[in-house]
Amino acid sequence: MLFLLSSCGSSDDDFNSGPIVDDCLGLGADQLTLKIQDHYTTLPGKVSVFFKVTTKDGNHPVAGLSANNFKIFEKGSNDNCYKPISASESNGRISSKSQIFNTNTLLVLDLSNSVLSTSLEELKLASTSFIEQVMPSTPSEEFKMGVYWFDGEDVLHELNPLTTDRTQLITAIEGITNNISNDPSTDLYGAVIKATDSATAILEENKKEEVLAAASVVIFTDGTDQAARYSKNAAINKVKNADENISFFSIGLGSEIETNILNQIGKNGSAYAANKEELEDTFEEISEDVEGQANSFYLFEYCSPKRSGKNLLVIQAIQGENQGSVQTQFDATGFTGGCE
């Protein structure tokens, strides 16, 4: 488990999507996927489950759900099937996840010669709008962003490290000048590989601190890889094989981009601007996708009526005509009344 636990808590090891939900509930086919990240219990009787909700294929986040979008069912050792648990009687709720989870956005900008000489001011304006959209005005440990850039060098340059302060990020963007680069070429594939490594390192560092984390890599370019230092397949495979809690988005500008490649790099979302005047709208489109990824994680908590032993739990998410469910278990040993 990745949550910090006191002596009054417990956790099981069977995380992730869980076993197939028992047919006795008759919930039908899933259109949504719930993937459990962690779960734990806290005396006198609280059950907490942290999970992500996506579309069936897992590629698109489902954000903005409330406690009313979820139903819970429990099955004790003496039950033939699951019994619905009243959300009002059990105080079912979506709780703040800021103490146990953070989301990290890596904004990676192409600052090769073509960008610096033709569209730098438009890129700075679009990047600033992106930051304002994704980052809260009041700093929160739940939302962090770093800004990076690449040219033809074999380096992913850090413009501003991960921070919760969006003013700091905007100041860094405003400070970009057209003489920032020493190499006019474009090492796009190298930037993809290095950004993925950076995102992976962020998740691993959070894991060491017993904090769950997700990351979004957003890559902007106005062209194709020119440095030929790394192969296309190396970059695309890096994205394909990345941790499932790392999302990838791409933004392309102009007519020299290869949309097929950028679609594979931005496997969770891609957007294209035909000219520099469209950049701000294009960045805004991707910012909505990034926000959706961050807000598709939920910490659902409720007070269980069970008082002993191992029990099965099903959580069902309902959004309009779509539904999905996940099954897990918890230990109610020591549970009593008084849960809030």
Cα–Cα distances (Å) from 214 to 202, 284, 297, in that order, read 9, 20, 9
104, 199 in Cβ contact below 8 A? yes
Q: How confident is the model at residue 5 (pLDDT cuts 50, 70, 90)?
A: very low
148, 176 in Cβ contact below 8 A? no
Share above pLDDT 70 across residues of the chain, in percent, rounded to a whole number: 94
| pLDDT tens profile 172-186 | 999 999 999 999 999
Nearest CA to 321 among 31, 22, 62? 31
For position 11, what pLDDT does the model report? 40
Q: How far apart are CA 106 and CA 161, in angstroms?
A: 9
| pLDDT tens profile 147-167 | 999 999 999 999 999 999 999
Q: How far apart are CA 3 and CA 7, in angstroms?
A: 13
For position 25, what pLDDT does the model report? 92
Tokens read off for 258: 């290869």
For position 58, what pLDDT does the model report? 82
Q: How far apart are CA 166 and CA 137, in angstroms?
A: 7
Residue 188 DSSP label: H
Query: Which amino acid belongs to residue 324?
Result: G
Nearest CA to 150 among 213, 235, 215, 274? 235
Indicate the SS3 state at residue 135.
coil
| pLDDT tens profile 47-68 | 999 999 999 988 789 999 999 9
pLDDT at 2 over 50: no
- The domain covering 101-294 belongs, at the CATH homologous superfamily level, to von Willebrand factor, type A domain (3.40.50.410)
Contacts of 224 (CB under 8 A, 6+ apart): 186, 188, 256, 257, 258, 261
Q: How confident is the model at residue 14 (pLDDT cuts 50, 70, 90)?
A: very low
For the packed helices 188-208 and 232-240, what is the interaxial angle rounded to 10 degrees? Answer: 30
pTM of whole model > 0.85?
Answer: yes
Q: How confident is the model at residue 4 (pLDDT cuts 50, 70, 90)?
A: very low
Angle at 12 between CA 8 and CA 18, to 5 degrees: 145
For position 18, what pLDDT does the model report? 57
Q: How distant is the alpha carbon of residue 305 from its chain centre?
A: 32
Break the chain into its structural domains and give their ranges: 9-90+304-331, 101-294
pLDDT at 73 over 70: yes
The number of C-alpha atoms within 13 Å of 105 and in the hemisphere containing its C-beta is 33
Nearest CA to 52 among 241, 246, 206, 198? 246
Q: How far apart are CA 70 and CA 93, in angstroms?
A: 9
For position 226, what pLDDT does the model report? 95
Share above pLDDT 90 across residues of the chain, in percent, rounded to a whole number: 87
